[in-house]
Structure 1
């Protein structure tokens, strides 16, 4: 039996999980609860695609990645479903912006762009603060999100 890696504190005790998402206690006892912790975790398929006017039309807004590559995710709320990075300096067309106020500090203030360009094809989000948002490529980088991009 493979011992899981301790990944979370739960009610003051440590809970270990195996690769298939079951707790170590479930593996040892052979009993799994009606709802396992693995089934309670959101998956990237839980992120519905927006239906705003620009989301379903051919209207897009150009954005340029800043100095580092921009990460992409199918579900920006949980950083799940990682997609291809957008290379530094590349232009992409975005459809809308999605706000996640509980985002970690690295993506604050929590705005994400839905990318229309291939290979992302309106299926991946990328942190808006990874883009120039109208700022000069030479800096200073003062704009975290382009307010001209509509909200999803």
Structure 2
């Protein structure tokens, strides 16, 4: 089967074929979250609009900061090292790879989550409502 013929949605469900090593690393990350991840998790764990989010979710070769499988939505929080050109290229490639699984990624910076929390929540809620409307869930 040619690479472009792969049905990415059939690869290991919500984990998209994540290996045991990736899953193990996700557990480590859950034990060492950042201030901004903790702050956003305080909101997402309340199941906004009745939707379950997972934190530090293993997904293929990656670990998503937050993931809602029902909406196929990942939320990423970028710390300072994400502002280097090399890391921005890696993030772009990572987002492209994740999008092959029909997962959308929205990104916020640490600073946005800490200093502009109400607007971050408003944007997440807006994306959720739009996706619920267009996906007929």
TM-score, structure 2 as length reference? 0.28
Larger radius of gyration: 1
Say which structure, 1 or 2, has more relative contact order (CA 8 Å, 6+ apart): 2
